[in-house]
Structure formats: structure tokens, C-alpha cells
Chains A and B, each alone.
Chain A
């Protein structure tokens, strides 16, 4: 029995692979769901929500520092995305486009609301430290008090930041997005994002030192 030389087999395989029609790039799960949702499939959009709701909530919470407000803001962002899905052109990923909407919703809310009073900050922070709210119920009382005070000061300091610095800082520090991702969400250059983050941190250090 004659055996085909290995080198011939390898060459044959190489030729066949080079002539094979490349299969179309695999669509991401998000893109498939977006395509279905644009055709009116509500279930597809609900799946998109399930994939992104926790991250969206955390971003909104970074801005609002209050559970109910964060819930409302993230839901508003999802509704806006739902209403404007036909305008999504697919040039960026769905999450980039959606997080842009979410950030704008959060910033609009802050602009309308203005700065919170110290009492509102204290109440929001105390709610978060309530054992029924699901945060660290086993932390000692004095640590809770210190944490509450620091959180209040941080909230004041964050509110004092200009919107773009606050956005860049929250997305980087709280959410761990990369500089590149933040630049896509904010539709600006990566160098600009770096400057915003640096200035935000400088301002926070100064404000927290003044509040100490």
C-alpha cells in the first residue's frame, strides 16, 4: 500500500486552506441581539439589558451614590437606548454606545438636580450602611462612622468636579474601564482622558485635604 508523503499532505492542506472562502467574522452576541431588537424583538432587548444592567447600575451608582437614583438613571438610559436603537449605526460596540447614553443621562440628572446638601449626602450614605441594604453589616460601628464620614467628603469632592473630569474619573477608578474605552465613550482623545483623570485626582486630593 502506498502512503501519501507527509509533505505532500501538508502542502495539499495549505493550498486548500488558502482557497477556502473565509467565513464571515462571527458577530458578537450583542450585535446579534441588537439586530433582533431593531426588528422589534423585545425579548432580544431584554437579554441585552440582562447582560449590561449590573454594570450600568454600578456606573450610575458612581454618579448618584444612591440606590434608587442609580436604579432610575440606569433604567432611563436603557429606555433611551430602546427608543433610539434604530439610530445605532454599529460603528462602535453596543456597550460603548449605551454607556455614552448612560453617562449623558447621569450628567443631565446632576445638572438638573444641582449639588446635594450635606444632609442628603449623610442620608444617602447612612442608607448604604444600613444592614438591610446589603453592605458590610459586620463592620464595626466606629469603622462605619469613619467610612460614612469619608464617603460624605468624597461625595462632596466628586460633586465639585467638572462633569468631564468626574466622568473620566468614575469610569476609570470605579469601573475599571481602560483609557481607550473611556475615550470611546466620551468621544474624545485618549490624551484628553488622561488629563481629565489626572486633574480630577489632583482636585480630589486638594478638596479632601481641605475637608479633613
Chain B
């Protein structure tokens, strides 16, 4: 391609948008005349315009529904509008009441309180033994030596008897 042809091709490329507007009838006045005059003398642009005229109508997929379609369409839409006017589904109607949120919140709090109160330990895994109190763990070894404690009691009793004996001697 010669330099002249390249320049012409570049210029035509810049005119593409105007050719699109010309095809759609969006150009008016002097601008329209200028572009139309160019197309007459430029086979590239003329081909482009012809391609648009050929291709673009084919991109339209039309649909002409029958009369009964529009009857159903309007009836369905009226029904949907009526549903909207009534407020929609029952749960939406419920939460739209002014007292609904405080009641729901209070119910939730009461339910939680009851759950924690009566359900304490309910969900415990019964395969796992309950946690043992630490105090019991400390005392357990000592509890196993009951004889030792019994001896301590006897010693306490002996001491008490000695004290009582000394008091009696003093009184005498």
C-alpha cells in the first residue's frame, strides 16, 4: 500500500463513526453533506456503509407476541402489583408492624435465658467425664488416708482429756 493509500485508509478509519451516524440518520446539515460527499468518492467508505446497511438489520431479532400474550401480561402484572400493595409475603407483613421487633427481641432474650438456665450441662458430651473440682483433687489423697485422720482425732481427744485433768487437779 502506498503512503497516499495508507493516509486515505487512516482517514477513512477516522470517519467510521461518522459513517455509523450517517447510516442511522443522526448527521444533519453541513456535516451530513460533507460525509455524504466523501462516500461518493471513496469506495472503501461506500463499502463500509453498504456493509452496515446489510448487517445491522440482521442483528435485530423481533418478536410479535399474539394478543392473548398481552392479556396475560397485563393480568399478571396487575396481580403482582396487587401483591405488592398488600405488603407481600406473610413474614414481611409481620415485621412491618411497629410492635414486631420489640416482641421478637424480647422473645429471643427469654429463649436464651431459659436455654442457659435449664440447659446447663444438657449438651455436655456424656462420654467425657465431668470436670473434677480442683478442691476435691487436693483433698483426695488425704481422704485416702482416713486412718491418719482418725489418729489425729484420737490425739485431739487425748489432749482434751489432759487439759480437763489439769483443770480438775487445780480445782481440787
- Seen from chain A, the residues whose Cβ lies within 8 Å of a Cβ on chain B are 42, 45-46, 49-50, 53-54, 57-58, 61-62, 65, 67, 70-71, 75, 78-79, 82-83, 125, 128, 133-135, 150-151, 154-155, 157-158, 172-174, 178-179, 194-195, 197-198, 201-202, 204-205, 208
Contact = CB atoms under 8 A, between A and B. Distances in A.
By secondary structure, the B interface counts as: helix
Contacts of B20: 194, 197-198, 201
Nearest to A198: B17
Given A71-B73, A134-B64, A208 B55 contact: yes
Contacts, number: 91
B31 interface: no
Contacts of B78: 46
Given A79-B84, A134-B65, A198-B17, A173 B74 contact: no
A173 B60 contact: yes
Given A198-B16, A198-B17, A202-B16, A134 B80 contact: no
B118 interface: no
Given A42-B85, A61-B63, A208-B55, 18 more contacts: A49-B74, A50-B74, A61-B62, A71-B73, A75-B73, A78-B77, A79-B77, A79-B81, A79-B84, A82-B81, A135-B62, A194-B17, A194-B21, A198-B17, A198-B20, A201-B56, A204-B55, A205-B55
19 contacts: A42-B85, A46-B77, A46-B78, A46-B81, A54-B70, A57-B73, A75-B73, A75-B76, A75-B77, A82-B81, A82-B84, A83-B84, A134-B64, A135-B62, A154-B61, A173-B24, A179-B21, A194-B17, A194-B26
B120 interface: no
Interface string B1-37: 0000000000000001100110010100000000000
A61 B55 contact: no
A195 B17 contact: yes
Contacts of B56: 173, 201
A66 B16 CA distance: 32
Given A71-B73, A205-B55, A134 B63 contact: yes
B59 to A, nearest CB: 5
Nearest to B83: A79
A82 B79 CA distance: 13
Interface in B29-61: 51-52, 55-56, 58-61
Contacts of B74: 46, 49-50, 53
